[in-house]
Each structure stands twice: as structure tokens, then as C-alpha cells.
């Protein structure tokens, strides 16, 4: 038997605090009994909540922290106030100290990324971290990155994202050679920003082992045209939020239409199993959890406003990433491909090859 997956939880993160975090962890524990938890947060409050979760209590230990990073704290403020002592920092630090395999927080994204980046540092060969989202598509699911770790991207960092996203898709979807596309405003090679065009050239000509398929557009994400969609964080975040908004909008149209007439209401009742399936497919909680990629450790960001079911999905994701050795696979992918990438953007840095 393999060792349990050790998950560090920021028990104070998110809009609803320990109640949601612990309830979510217990749901996930039912699905993956080979998990143990370290809960960082206010000891009294966490202990109290834990009383209603005896199953979770049996595999958890609490580490008391005084400081909570606020949902509206700026990253710099969070670092200043929360470094070394906040529940968020300590959960990340557990990963660094190898006391946990992965950290999960529903706290504010900017602060979490700043702390994770500051404490774990980027992997050798990676210029900066990215946040990867799992996107439900017509053909299953795709990995989309970066959905908001940083704004703008060089050709080099887009290529790194293609490599990391491929590794994640391999782990997550059990694919040999996941297909990769660069998000652009047109499928013709003539369009788009210089960085995206240069990244396309590098992926086509110089990177081995990434199954690069060319440019994709916004509508290709939901269609599932490729398994991995790569873009910089501004447009990636806007794409993600726009899709969420559109789904909400159409759900609301549907509800209104089904309540319009008696016939429609009866029709709705008859078809309610079908609507339940549809609702589940559209449930944003199912795809909850952004994966921070490119750091020396895995950190998962849950939506701050999610409920226990949604937080459980983020914990499931954390479990999967560890169980399937995401980090080792990314490292392996980078070692295999790094020389080509480095040769392009920093031809003078020949020593980097020796980093493995």
C-alpha cells in the first residue's frame, strides 16, 4: 500500500471559513480514505467545527495560527502581515517543509500566489508560475492556463505553460500525448501578438514532446478542440469569467422559460431527471480548483465563495495531483525539453542543462 496523501488545509481561507473547509475535506475523505490532513487555523474554532466531523478528526491534526489573510488584502499587505504566521502561509510552508504533499486554500488568489511564489519559488527552468483551470468541454475536460497568475507573457513563458499544461493533462486525463493550442484571436497564422506567434514557432520547431496543434480561438475552449489551452493570465482570466457568466445567464434564461406557462411547467416536471443531469453538468462546483503550476510544490486554489461540495472538489483535485505525481512529471517533461527552450530565449545560458 502506498502512503496516504498528506494535505495541508488553510482552514481559515474563503468566505465561509472552517465550517466549509472542514465539511468539504470530509466529503473528499469519503472518496479517498487514504488521505491525512493538517489544519492550519484558529485552534479553538477549528477544534469546535471538527467535533461534527469525527471521521475527518481521526486523520487530522490542528496547527494553531493567529493571523488570517483577508479576502481583500493586497498581495503585498498579505505578505507583510501574514508571512510565517498566517494559516495560508503555514499551509504552503508545510509543503515546503515536506510535512504535506499539497496545500489547499480558498483564500484570496493574489495573496495565495504571492505567498506560494515567495515561499516555494519557481522550478528550475520556469520563469514564473501559472494558474491552471479545468474546463468542462463538449468532449470532456481541458486544462486552460494561465487564468490569472500574471498579466502578459513572453514567448518563453507561454512555451513553459504548454509544457506544464501538457504534464497536467497527462496526469489528469490519462492521455499519452494531450493536444495543445495557443489561444489567439484568429486561426490564421497572420493574426495575433508577437509573443504568441513566437511561442507557436518554438512549439512547432524546437520543443519535442508537446503535441502542439496550432492556434485556437475562444469558442474552441468549450468545444474541446484541444486538451490544453495556453494563454497569458489577463485573457485567460477574462475567458474563464466570461464563460462562467454566460453559463449563469443561460441557466437563468432556462429557468425563466420553464416557468413561463403551465405546459412548460408540466414539461419541466416530466423532464426533471434530464434537468438534474444538465444542472450537474453545468455546476461550477464540479470544476472548482485552480492548480498553481511551476512552483516547487503543489498549491490548489479553491473558489472563495464555494460550499462544502465545491471545496471537496478542490481537495479531490489536490489528491489526484499528488497521487499521479504531477510535480515529478512536470520536472521530467522540463528536463527532456528544457535545452531546446533555453537555447532559444537565452542562448548564452548553456549551464542550465546541468540543472537536472
Binding site for a second copy (CB under 8 A): 72, 74, 110, 137-138, 148, 151-152, 183, 185-186, 188, 190-193, 217-223, 231, 233-235, 237-250, 252-254, 257-258, 260-261, 263-264, 266-275, 277-278, 281-282
* Least distance in angstroms from the C-beta of 69 to a second copy: 14
- DSSP helix, strand, coil percent of the chain (3-state; round to 5): 50, 15, 30
In the complex, least distance from residue 204 CB atom to a second copy, rounded to whole angstroms: 20
Measured from the CB atom, is 124 or 186 closer to a second copy?
186
Of residues 105 and 137, the one with the C-beta less far from a second copy: 137
Cβ-based nearer residue to a second copy, 48 or 76 = 76
Q: Which residue has the cell 488568489?
A: 109
Cell reading at 80: 507583510
To a second copy, the closest distance from the beta carbon of 207 in angstroms equals 23
Q: How far is the CB of 62 from a second copy (least distance, A)?
A: 32
Beta carbon of residue 38, minimum distance to a second copy (angstroms, whole number): 30
The number of helices, as runs of H, and strands, as runs of E, in the chain is 14, 11
Given the complex with a second copy, which of 218 and 339 has the nearer CB atom? 218
Q: Which is nearer to a second copy, 51 or 263 (CB)?
A: 263
Output the smallest distance, CB 288 to a second copy, in A.
Answer: 15
DSSP letters, 283-327, are: -TTTT--EEEESBSSEEEEPPTT--HHHHHHHHHHHHHHHHTTHH
| Residues 93, 108: Cα–Cα separation, whole Å | 17
43 versus 198: smaller Cβ distance to a second copy: 198
> What are the two backbone dihedrals, phi and then psi, of residue 292, each rounded to the nearest 5 degrees?
-80, 120
Residue pair 181/214 in contact (Cβ under 8 Å)? The answer is yes
In the complex, least distance from residue 311 CB atom to a second copy, rounded to whole angstroms: 20
Given the complex with a second copy, which of 9 and 153 has the nearer CB atom? 153
Q: Are 172 and 320 in contact (CB under 8 A)?
A: yes
DSSP states along 156-190: HHHHHHHHHHHHHHHHHH--SS-EEEEE-S-SSTT
Q: Minimal distance in Å, beta carbon 58 to a second copy?
A: 39
Reading the block at residue 240, the C-alpha cell is 474563464
Choose between 148 and 310: whose C-beta lies nearer to a second copy: 148
Residue/partner pairs of 86-90 with CB below 8 Å, 24 or more apart = 86/12, 87/10, 87/11, 87/12, 87/13, 87/40, 87/41, 87/42, 88/10, 88/12, 88/13, 88/40, 88/112, 88/115, 89/115, 89/119, 90/8, 90/10, 90/40, 90/63, 90/65
Amino acid at each position: 500500500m502506498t502512503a496516504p496523501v498528506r494535505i495541508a488545509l488553510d482552514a481559515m481561507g474563503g468566505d465561509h471559513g472552517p465550517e466549509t473547509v472542514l465539511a468539504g475535506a470530509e466529503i473528499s475523505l469519503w472518496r479517498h480514505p487514504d488521505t491525512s490532513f493538517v489544519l492550519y487555523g484558529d485552534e479553538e474554532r477549528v477544534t469546535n467545527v471538527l467535533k461534527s466531523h469525527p471521521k475527518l478528526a481521526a486523520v487530522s491534526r490542528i496547527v494553531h495560527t493567529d493571523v488570517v489573510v483577508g479576502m481583500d488584502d493586497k498581495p503585498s499587505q498579505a505578505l507583510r502581515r501574514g508571512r510565517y504566521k498566517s494559516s495560508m502561509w503555514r499551509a504552503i510552508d508545510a509543503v515546503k517543509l515536506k510535512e504535506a504533499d499539497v496545500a489547499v486554500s480558498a483564500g484570496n488568489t493574489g495573496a495565495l500566489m504571492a505567498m506560494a511564489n515567495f515561499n516555494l519559488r519557481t522550478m528550475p527552468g520556469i520563469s514564473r508560475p501559472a494558474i491552471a483551470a479545468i474546463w468542462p468541454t463538449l468532449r470532456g475536460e481541458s486544462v486552460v492556463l494561465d487564468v490569472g497568475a500574471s498579466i502578459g507573457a513572453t514567448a518563453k513563458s507561454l512555451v513553459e505553460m504548454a509544457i506544464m499544461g501538457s504534464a497536467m493533462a497527462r496526469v489528469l486525463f490519462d492521455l499519452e500525448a494531450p493536444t495543445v493550442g495557443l489561444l489567439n484571436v484568429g486561426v490564421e497564422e497572420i493574426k495575433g501578438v508577437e509573443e504568441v506567434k513566437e511561442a507557436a514557432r518554438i512549439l512547432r520547431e524546437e520543443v519535442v514532446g508537446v503535441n502542439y496543434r496550432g492556434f485556437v480561438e475562444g469558442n474552441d475552449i468549450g468545444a474541446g478542440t484541444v486538451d490544453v489551452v495556453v494563454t497569458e493570465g489577463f485573457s485567460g482570466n477574462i475567458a474563464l469569467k466570461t464563460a462562467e457568466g454566460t453559463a449563469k445567464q443561460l441557466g437563468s434564461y432556462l429557468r425563466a422559460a420553464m416557468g413561463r406557462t403551465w405546459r412548460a411547467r408540466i414539461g419541466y416536471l416530466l423532464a426533471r431527471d434530464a434537468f438534474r443531469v444538465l444542472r450537474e453538468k453545468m455546476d461550477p462546483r464540479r470544476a472548482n480548483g485552480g492548480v498553481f503550476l511551476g512552483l516547487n510544490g503543489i498549491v490548489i486554489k479553491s473558489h472563495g465563495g464555494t460550499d462544502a461540495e465545491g471545496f471537496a472538489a478542490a481537495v479531490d483535485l489536490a489528491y489526484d495531483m499528488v497521487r499521479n505525481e504531477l510535480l515529478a512529471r512536470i520536472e521530467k517533461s522540463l528536463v527532456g525539453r528544457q535545452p531546446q527552450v533555453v537555447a532559444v530565449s537565452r542562448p548564452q545560458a548553456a549551464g542550465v542543462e546541468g540543472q537536472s
